[in-house]
């Protein structure tokens, strides 16, 4: 019986067709003896050609995990840069008072700017129907309108570029299987936040196009919506940058000491203070509260102005009284700079990695650069506007002295 069964079975086992179905043995180690130890296959290493072809058909063949992480990390780093560019361009749009020049919103249609004189005249006539032209820019020429229109147009087109920079690569990486399960959730959240930003931007602009017959104030967007627009952009930037750096830079494993715990808490608190200061800056911009007092460190002739609690109820002053809004912004700014300084000196007293110490020193330099630039700006405004040094607010209306 053995003579009848074993030879055909040995021939079948030795055939190349069946060898494709048998997992490949791992190479033997050279240990100096006749025995060998089988090494387990690494993830993504297939034992047969048939397995590779089967996985290719399913579309799950991916880069090695570390290489995929580097690609995704660089992509998110570029995305965070585009978001920073959008914030800067939005600030320039605000300073040039261009945000209300485009009075409608279309995702695809408005991507083509006016080209003929007739199209420009039509666009200008649309703008003339809204409060900003009627109250503030009633003597504006077509050439001046083109400038503010192109400023807002560039901001909107940059926003669309940011959306494409997130959504298209995310879909590609998802299809290729380069995103881990946890990273898929983060990427979905980031892409959703990008889309929310676009809708929130138009919701903000729409508030400045509404007729307000009960007031003769300068048309402006809602400070609440402006703060929400800026705040969501900062969250998107920080989340993208944090995720990209966590993928690109190796994590340092430090002993959990009490000093390190205090440093981490101080860093988190400082980040929260900087975020609140930025949001209060959006309220300052939305109310033009920076023009109320243009002296520093005093506000006019006193440290604490008298008209902090003009509006009723009292809580309304925090968000709608320009004097209180500027006062809060100053206090938050000074507190933020102090917190950054404390964080820097705490980091110098601890044995931290070189990269961490460089980050703390850079943060300190940026904070004091911000203080110098802002102080110089305030002094220049004071020299130019000595005749309009203060704006008084009585009964919710603006009066220039």
Q: Specify burial of residue 132 (Cβ count, 10 A radius: 0-12, 13-18, 19+).
A: buried
The stretch 366-387 carries a mean pLDDT of: 71
The stretch 181-204 carries a mean pLDDT of: 93
Whole-number pLDDT of residue 383:
53
Whole-number pLDDT of residue 379:
62
Report the share of the chain in percent with pLDDT over 70: 77
**Backbone φ, ψ for residue 391 (5° rounding):** -110, 120
Give the CB-side neighbour count of residue 59, counting CA atoms within 13 A. 6
Is beta strand 397-400 parallel, antiparallel or unpaired with respect to 391-394?
antiparallel
Residue 9 has pLDDT above 50, yes or no: no
**Confidence tier at 256 by pLDDT (50, 70, 90):** confident
Cβ-contact 221, 130 below 8 angstroms: no
Stated pTM of the model: 0.77
Residue 387 has pLDDT above 70, yes or no: no
Please indicate whether residue 335 or residue 68 has the higher confidence score (pLDDT). Answer: 335
What kind and span of H or E run contains 190? helix 181-208
353: its two tokens = 């990695």
Residue 281 has pLDDT above 60, yes or no: yes
Give the CB-side neighbour count of residue 65, counting CA atoms within 13 A. 7
The DSSP call for residue 388 is G
Whole-number pLDDT of residue 255:
77
CA-closest candidate to residue 270, choices 348, 360, 373: 360
**Mind listing the pLDDT tens digit for each residue in 305-343?**
988 898 889 999 999 999 999 999 999 999 999 999 999
């Amino acid at each position: 019986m053995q003579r009848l069964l074993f030879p055909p079975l040995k021939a079948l086992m030795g055939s190349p067709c069946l060898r494709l179905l048998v997992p490949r043995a791992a190479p033997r180690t050279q240990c100096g003896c006749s025995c060998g130890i089988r090494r387990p296959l690494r993830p993504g290493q297939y034992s047969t050609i048939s397995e590779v072809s089967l996985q290719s058909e399913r579309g799950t063949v991916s880069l090695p995990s570390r290489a995929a992480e580097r690609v995704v990390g660089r992509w998110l780093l570029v995305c965070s840069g585009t978001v920073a560019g959008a914030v800067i361009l939005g600030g320039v749009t605000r300073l040039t008072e261009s945000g209300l020049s485009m009075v409608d919103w279309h995702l695809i249609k408005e991507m083509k700017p006016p080209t003929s004189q007739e199209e420009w005249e039509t666009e200008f006539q649309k703008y003339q129907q809204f409060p900003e032209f009627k109250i503030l820019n009633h003597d504006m020429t077509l050439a001046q309108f083109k400038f503010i229109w192109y400023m807002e147009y560039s901001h909107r087109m940059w926003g669309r570029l940011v959306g494409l920079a997130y959504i298209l690569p995310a879909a590609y990486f998802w299809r290729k299987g380069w995103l881990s399960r946890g990273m898929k959730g983060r990427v979905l959240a980031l892409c959703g936040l990008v889309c929310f930003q676009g809708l929130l931007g138009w919701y903000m602009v729409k508030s400045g196009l509404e007729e307000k017959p009960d007031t003769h104030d300068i048309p402006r967007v809602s400070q609440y919506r402006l703060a929400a627009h800026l705040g969501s952009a900062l969250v998107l930037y920080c989340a993208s940058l944090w995720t990209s750096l966590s993928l690109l830079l190796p994590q340092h494993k430090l002993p959990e000491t009490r000093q390190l715990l205090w440093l981490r808490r101080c860093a988190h608190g400082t980040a929260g203070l900087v975020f609140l200061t930025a949001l209060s800056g959006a309220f300052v911009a939305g109310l033009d509260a920076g023009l109320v007092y243009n002296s520093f460190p005093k506000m006019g002739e006193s440290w604490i102005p008298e008209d902090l609690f003009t509006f009723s109820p009292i809580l309304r002053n925090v968000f709608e009284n320009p004097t209180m809004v500027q006062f809060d912004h100053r206090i938050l700014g000074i507190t933020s700079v102090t917190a950054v300084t404390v964080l820097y000196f705490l980091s110098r007293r601890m044995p931290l990695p070189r990269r961490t110490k460089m980050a703390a020193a850079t943060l300190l330099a940026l904070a004091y650069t911000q203080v110098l630039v802002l102080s110089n700006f305030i002094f220049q405004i004071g020299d130019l506007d000595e005749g309009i040094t203060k704006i008084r607010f009585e009964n919710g209306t603006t009066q220039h002295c």
